[in-house]
Amino acid sequence: MSPASTEVKGFYRRSVEERREVLREASGLASSDLAPWQPGPGLPSGLLERMIENVVGAFALPLGFATHFKVNGVDRFVPMALEEPSVVAAASNAARIARLRGGFSAQVTPPVMIGQVSLVGVPDPHAARLRILAAREELLKIANEKDPLLNRVGGGARDLEVHLRSTARGPLLVVHLLVDVRDAMGANAVNTMAEALAGELTRLSGGRVNLRIISNLAIHRLARASATFPREALEGEGRTGADVVEGILDAYEFARNDPFRCSTHNKGIMNGISAVAIATGNDFRALEAGAHSYAAFKAPPGGILSPLSTYETTPQGDLVGTLELPLAVGTIGGAAAVHPAAKLNLKILGVSGARELAEVMAAVGLAQNFAALRALANEGIQKGHMALHARNVAVTAGARPDEVDRVATRLVQEHVIRQDRAREVLEDLRRAGSSSP
């Protein structure tokens, strides 16, 4: 079948039903094939259409809750939405171990985001920089007039910085507007303020305003978490707690000295953080961008990336982990304010605002990282992963719910977790009559 043209006039103006019909017809599917798009009763398509464009339905991810989290002395059930097996279990397990020494301690810096305005074609960039800095009060006033509500809740534009970059297309002036965004992620608030400065910055610089947009490298809005993992709680698989601590310290040094490992080390941290971000309606792309660019920003001279976490030992030999990264999360605005499941999850999590949400997320990131290092330095990550993966493979191979466990167990025992083998195992089971037809 040759693919149908995707040039569909006015697709965005059609109803959800009409859009589905276009896609169904183009793909030669039956109406019943589209059932997986059906939004649940808690998520009417009217709401979805207010969130993004060209909506045809909803895409559900599994939602789990991590247990055992105690952050700054407060117990929290942590919502996590993601597709990857083992992440929720690993976070809960790490939180259980951290709990033995009181759980996680976490803090955040004030929620200050950077809005960037770029100025090109400035005839006297050094002098223009000083003119802009001298007009600080006036510029902050213009920005703050754009968001009286943010000012009322204690936020607002706080400061200006002007950076001069030398580029292949000539000097570039970059104005940073620093905005305290309180409980918001802040992109809309900051972008609006940055746009409002365009006229005055054009006048002051004698150049041309080009971009006006938030930066995701939110170096002023950091979240930090730390926890102690008692050595004796880490023993297992024939290895002493002290061996496991040594293994984790070696794994940390590996990440510190090798960008290929560091990338994955930081990805593991974001496994947890992004899952909480999705479950609470936060912009996980913004968080990922912020985290990975911060890892590059903090790299030592000549380095490429640095791990977002650190590991060391107490005099008693317990393992201490810390994490620091930008976390631009909101409990006001964005999807957090409109998505019913995000609102419900935030209620169960019980955070008072963006500050506490970021503290919990930093704790989850550290838990996830510790759990991954512990598994890697111990039995390897695949053991835990494979049990769930084997179940997925069994389902894909056609196992019915009553057959899934038996097929998965055989695959794990054989250390062969492949669909072709799953089909053979399934046929064996059925032939042996150990499964009803």
Known catalytic residue at 385: yes
**How large is the greatest C-alpha to C-alpha distance in the chain, in angstroms?**
86
Known catalytic residue at 84: yes
Residue with smaller CB distance to ligand NAD, 180 or 324 = 180
Cα-flanking dihedrals φ and ψ of residue 338, to 5°? Answer: -120, -25
Known catalytic residue at 176: no
**Which amino acid does the sequence have at 269?**
I
Query: Which one of 182, 224, 231, 355 is in contact with ligand NAD (CB under 6 A)?
Result: 182
Query: Which one of 153, 164, 198, 320 is in contact with ligand NAD (CB under 6 A)?
Result: 153
Please name which of 70, 64, 67, 112 lies closest in space to residue 363, comparing C-alpha atoms.
70
Sorted by sequence, the CB contacts under 8 Å of residue 416 that are 6+ apart come out as none
Q: Is 332 in the site for ligand NAD (CB under 6 A)?
A: yes
Q: 104, 226 in Cβ contact below 8 A?
A: yes
Q: Which of 288, 298, 385, 424 is catalytic?
A: 385
Residue with smaller CB distance to ligand NAD, 183 or 403 = 183
Q: Is 359 in the site for ligand NAD (CB under 6 A)?
A: no
Q: Is 318 in the site for ligand NAD (CB under 6 A)?
A: no
| The dihedral sign for the CA sequence 361, 272, 294, 167 | negative
Q: Which of 195, 243, 267, 343 is catalytic?
A: 267
Both tokens of 96, joined, read 């259980």
Please name which of 272, 301, 298, 274 lies closest in space to residue 287, comparing C-alpha atoms.
274
Q: CA 227 to CA 104: how far, in whole Å?
A: 5
Residue with smaller CB distance to ligand NAD, 68 or 220 = 220
- Of 48-56, 146-154, 201-209, 395-403, the window that binds ligand NAD (rule: CB under 6 A) is 146-154
Q: Which of 84, 200, 379, 424 is catalytic?
A: 84
**Which amino acid does the sequence have at 40?**
G
Q: CA 89 to CA 79: how far, in whole Å?
A: 12
Site string for ligand NAD, 189-208 (x = CB under 6 A): x-x-----------------
Q: Is 186 in the site for ligand NAD (CB under 6 A)?
A: yes
Q: Is 155 in the site for ligand NAD (CB under 6 A)?
A: yes
Q: 336, 380 in Cβ contact below 8 A?
A: no
The set of catalytic residues is 84, 267, 283, 385
Residues near ligand NAD (CB under 6 A) are 147, 149-150, 153, 155, 181-189, 191, 214, 216, 283, 286, 330, 332-335
